[in-house]
Amino acid sequence: MNLTLTRRLWMGFALMALLTLTSTLVGWYNLRFISQVEKDNTQALIPTMNMARQLSEASAWELFAAQNLTSADNEKMWQVQGRMLTAQSLKINALLQALREQGFDTTAIEQQEQEISRSLRQQGELVGQRLQLRQQQQQLSQQIVAAADEIARLAQGQANNAATSAGATQAGIYDLIEQHQRQAAESALDRLIDIDLEYVNQMNELRLSALRVQQMVMNLGLEQIQKNAPTLEKQLNNAVKILQRRQIRIEDPGVRTQVATTLTTVSQYSDLLALYQQDSEISNHLQTLAQNNIAQFAQFSSEVSQLVDTIELRNQHGLAHLEKASARGQYSLLLLGLVSLCALILILWRVVYRSVTRPLAEQTQALQRLLDGDIDSPFPETAGVRELDTIGRLMDAFRSSVHALNRHREQLAAQVKARTAELQELVIEHRQARAEAEKASQAKSAFLAAMSHEIRTPLYGILGTAQLLADNPALNAQRDDLRAITDSGESLLTILNDILDYSAIEAGGKNVSVSDEPFEPRPLLESTLQLMSGRVKGRPIRLATEIADDVPTALMGDPRRIRQVITNLLSNALRFTDEGHIILRSRTDGEQWLVEVEDSGCGIDPAKLAEIFQPFVQVSGKRGGTGLGLTISSRLAQAMGGELSATSTPEVGSCFCLRLPLRVATAPVPKTVNQAVRLDGLRLLLIEDNPLTQRITVEMLNISGAQVVAVGNAVQALETLQNSEPFAAALVDFDLPDIDGITLARQLAQQYPSLVLIGFSAHVIDETLRQRTSSLFRGIIPKPVPREVLGQLLAHYLQLQVNNDQPLDVSQLNEDAHLMGAEKIHEWLILFKQHALPLLDEIDIARASQDNEKIKRAAHQLKSSCSSLGMRSASQQCAQLEQQPLSAPLPHEEITRSVAALEAWLIRKT
């Protein structure tokens, strides 16, 4: 029969499913039989065991209650124990009936329970009678005790009266003796002895006898009655007779009558003794019943034990039946498992292995041989399976296709070989082009470094010479010319720095260093705008700052790079604005700090607005510039985590916006001093091979008070150090004629470890160079460098103490004097006195009235005015007052001191 592979598998699965179902049904039947047997035994065994346990507990409680009933001494306890006995008896009867229904013989136990119940009922009745007798005993005993106490009280009264009479008689006898009436005295004495004293004794005897009777009655008890009842009755009889005899001798009739009445109650002692006798008889009877109950309970326990043994025996038979059923189920399941296993093996071998698995394995081996390349290998028989017949036909077709593919592969191999040769030639050409590009990049970097060094060195000579000439008062007439030289040199230096920054950015930005330090944004913006004020002299352009109140006092970032970007934006605004205004604006927007430069210049065409941040793109070739400023500013903004954007309207103006992350500084901002530093007495060694640079540097340092020795090469430096007095520091140029500066620095560090080494070079100082030289040099001073900055850097590296308490920014004043002259600054001072000083009175009035806004406005105006005149410390105090109008110190004294210092400076200048 030619069945398909699927049908063969389905048939095998159906047989296995049928086998599984049969095994499941048989197993279910065995488990159900075992469960039924277990259920029957559980329903029969567990209740009987519980009833046997409850029967034992009930008998024990009944015995306990019977013992407590015998010792009951009050009615409440008698009733409680009676109820407990009743409840336990009912429970025992109910359990016995349930056991009888289960097929147990409980006749003997029921008879025993009936006898115990009758005995307990009799015991309860006797206990009740005993309680009544004891109540009567208590009442009668209390009456007799009270009557005896009353007799004792009355006898005491009579004895007291008799004693009083005897005392009076005794007093009369003494009177008769004093009167010498002998016979009368003797008669009175006889009467005293025979009558009065005798009566006192009789009343005392009556009282004592009453108390004795009272004590005897109070001490009566069941044990005494049982042991010595006749003796107690005789003693009480004698005591009562004494009371009766003494009662007759009472002289007072009323008291005699009361005693006689009370003696009637005392005489009931015989009734009390009879009650005690009955109590004793009942107690003895109860004792007998208790002993009988114990014997009956022992017999009852024995019967219950026999019943429990019978129940346990039945339980053992039930468990044995359950184990037998369980064993039979286990054997059945084991046999079924073996049969199922044999049937399953037969199905797997006949249906799965013989008809499916083995033919598939043979076909798989044939396919593997075909894949291994044995194309001509024969195929196995298909065993009459349709799918295998199909696979055989497909393998024949595959064999034909393989032969065709082999022929095609040989053709492709020849083509690939030819193409591989061509590709190897292209790879060799690409490697050569890449090597040439790397050489060109290295040549460009070397060229820029060499160009930077070669331009910075003469530029240092130009700027340094111009600064030295500007400090000479005799050349005041040529200040404008010197300023033009300085501006040209600084413009050339700016272009050079732009080229170097663009080169670093073009190389991937790896050499663009960005620091992260605290700085004050307000002074940075105001000083940057102040540097631009000289370039608007004589032009109808207004410079202004607008700094919002929400700008923090201190931020984190790179103040040098921020100043570079803002300076570039302000320079562009000045270049493209002929008249109008340039506003430097600062504010915050959420988590960003915004700095905007707005101008009223010619504007930018919207078509070119998207291209202005590309390198070498100029809005107008007539305005000058390299076309790199905005490109560098945009890349620097990105390096600082921000962005630079622009909006513009032609013929209206432009607005450039620098957005940086708003990060408030937690550490204090280090204070910097923009003034000339005195280096008096400081011995310095200058190692510089350029004569002009050597001369300018020596003159700058001499002006600051330093003693400088200049040498031109490494040999001269070593000789000077060996033959001269010690130097505080050595300024080392990196390019020397006989040896490079870094190698010389290593020698000096080994030979003179106490000598401070400071780099002094016109090379581009990138981060790589700083890391290489950080262990040799205390710091590096780049050329060109202004005189004030040179002194400040030396003081910083040598850790000199600088006077920070100077009220004036001398550097700013010198720059303003170069641009506009000292006379103009004097005019500004006069205007300051006329318009700014009255603001101090307004601040006093506003402080008195707690007017915050008025104080802020006046402090802001004073801050701007003081900053324009270089009064640095006064401007800082005004800024502090603007931030804290009610708590900051007033700037009156500092402004007065700054005005006086400015007047003295103007006198020196003129």
Q: What is the DSSP letter of 252?
A: -
Query: Which of residues 529 and 709 earns the better pLDDT score?
Result: 709
Do residues 275 and 134 both lie within one domain? yes
Residue 390 φ then ψ, to 5°: -65, -40
Q: In this structure, is residue 19 part of a structural domain?
A: no
Which of 530, 596, 520 is CA-nearest to residue 551? Answer: 520
pLDDT score for 258: 81
* Among the listed residues 580, 575, 579, 572, the one whose alpha carbon sits nearest the alpha carbon of residue 644: 572
Residue 33 lies in a domain: no
Separation between Cα atoms, residue 413 and residue 408, nearest integer Å? 9
DSSP of 275-296: HHHHHHHHHHHHHHHHHHHHHH
| In contact, 601 and 576? CB cutoff 8 Å | yes
pLDDT for the residue numbered 709: 92
The encoded tokens of residue 166 equal 């005897």
Write a three-state SS string for 413-467: HHHHHHHHHHHHHHHHHHHHHHHHHHHHHHHHHHHHHHHHHHHHHHHHHHHHHHH
Residue 588 backbone phi and psi in degrees, to 5: -120, 150
| Mean local confidence (pLDDT), 683-700 | 87
Task: Encode pLDDT of 80-94 as tens digits.
Answer: 666 776 777 777 777
What pLDDT is recorded for position 803?
A: 46
How many domains, the chain? 5
* 3-state secondary structure labels for all residues of 466-485: HHHHHCCHHHHHHHHHHHHH
- What Cα–Cα distance (Å) separates residue 364 from each residue in 361, 367, 379, 399? 5, 5, 10, 15
Residues 545 and 655 in one domain: yes
Are 828 and 881 contained in the same domain? yes
Would the pLDDT of 256 be above 90? no
Average pLDDT over all residues of the chain: 75
Of the ranges 105-114, 343-352, 578-587, which is most confident?
A: 578-587
pLDDT at residue 585 tops 90: yes
Report the Cα 49 to chain-centroid distance in Å.
Answer: 60
Choose among 284, 305, 282, 286: nearest CA to 294: 286
**Residues 6 or more apart in contact with residue 836 via CB below 8 angstroms:** 861, 862, 865, 866
Q: Is 60 part of a structural domain of the chain?
A: no
Which is more confident, 281 or 648? Answer: 648
- Sequence length of the chain is 910
283 and 148 in a common domain: yes
pLDDT value at 502 more than 60: no
Query: The CATH number of the domain where 723 resides is what?
Result: 3.40.50.2300
586 phi and psi, to 5 degrees?
A: -140, 135
Residue type, 553: T
Q: What is the CATH number of the domain that holds 481?
A: 1.10.287
pLDDT at 673 over 50: no
By the 8 A CB rule, do 143 and 235 touch?
Answer: no
* Better-predicted residue by pLDDT, 441 or 561: 561
Asked if the structure places residue 36 within a domain, the reply is: no
Nearest Cα neighbor of 403 from 383, 373, 436 is 373
Which pLDDT band holds residue 530 (cuts at 50, 70, 90)? confident
pLDDT for position 503: 61
Is 297 in a helix, a strand, or coil?
helix
Query: Cα dist. 500→640, 770, 808 in Å?
Result: 18, 17, 35
Q: How confident is the model at residue 660 (pLDDT cuts 50, 70, 90)?
A: very high
Q: Report whether pLDDT(234) > 70.
A: yes
* The predicted structure's pLDDT at residue 144: 79
Q: What does the buried/exposed string (b/e) look like for 23-54 if buried means 16 or more CB atoms within 10 Å of the residue's CB?
A: beebeeebeeebeebbeebeeebeebeebbee
Mean pLDDT value across residues 265-293:
74
CA-based angle 619:620:621, to the nearest 5? 130
Closest to 569 (Cα-Cα) out of 506, 525, 515:
525
Residues above pLDDT 90, as percent of the chain: 6
**Cα distance between residue 789 and residue 486, in whole Å:** 16
Whether 724 has a pLDDT exceeding 90, the answer reads no
Whether residue 830 has pLDDT greater than 70: yes
Question: What sign for the dihedral angle of Cα 728, 732, 737, 743?
Answer: positive
CA nearest neighbour of 223 among 304, 279, 265:
279
Give the pLDDT of residue 632. Answer: 81
Residue that finishes a domain, picked among 511, 526, 549: 511
Is 801 a residue whose pLDDT tops 50? no
The residue among 336 and 888 whose pLDDT is bigger is 888
Banded model confidence at residue 639, pLDDT cuts 50, 70, 90: confident
pLDDT at position 676 over 60: no
> For 850-881, how does the pLDDT look when each residue is reduced to its tens digit (9 = 90+)?
888 888 888 888 888 888 888 888 888 888 88
How many Å separate Cα 527 from the centre of its chain? 47
Domain of residue 531, residue span: 515-661
- 741 shares a domain with 636: no
Residue 84: predicted pLDDT: 73
Supply the CATH number for residue 526's domain. Answer: 3.30.565.10
The answer to the question of residue 313 being in a domain is no
For residue 595, the model assigns a pLDDT of 94
Whether residue 455 is found in the same domain as residue 431:
yes
Q: What is the pLDDT of residue 729?
A: 92
> Does the residue 9 lie in any domain?
no
> At 47, is the pLDDT very low, low, confident or very high (cuts 50, 70, 90)?
low
pLDDT at 783: 79
Q: Inform me whether the pLDDT recorded for 487 exceeds 70.
A: no
Amino acid at 222: L
From 490, 511, 532, give the residue that closes a domain. 511
172-186, 665-679, 765-779: segment of lowest average pLDDT: 665-679
- 89 lies in a domain? no
> Full-prediction pTM beyond 0.85?
no
For residues 772 and 820, state if they share a domain: no
Same domain, 834 and 715: no
So what's the pLDDT on residue 734? 84
What CATH number does residue 818 fall under?
1.20.120.160
Mean pLDDT of 265-276: 74
Place of tokens 């006086």: 900
**Among 121-135, 674-688, 792-806, 815-829, whose mean pLDDT is lowest?**
792-806
Worst-scoring range by mean pLDDT, 318-332, 503-517, 890-904? 503-517
Residue 757 has pLDDT above 80, yes or no: yes
Residue where a domain terminates, one of 661, 693, 709 = 661
Look up residue 664 and give its DSSP letter.
B
Residue 570 lies in a domain: yes
Q: Are 496 and 559 within one domain?
A: no
Q: Is 94 left (phi over 0), alpha (psi -120 to 50) or beta?
A: alpha
Residues 775 and 701 in one domain: yes
Q: What mean pLDDT comes out for the span 800-823?
A: 68
Q: Which residue has the tokens 């029967």?
A: 55
Predicted pLDDT of residue 193: 62
Q: Are residues 189 and 142 in the same domain?
A: yes
Between residues 661 and 405, which one has the greater pLDDT?
661
Query: Could you tell me if 786 and 823 lie in one domain?
Result: no
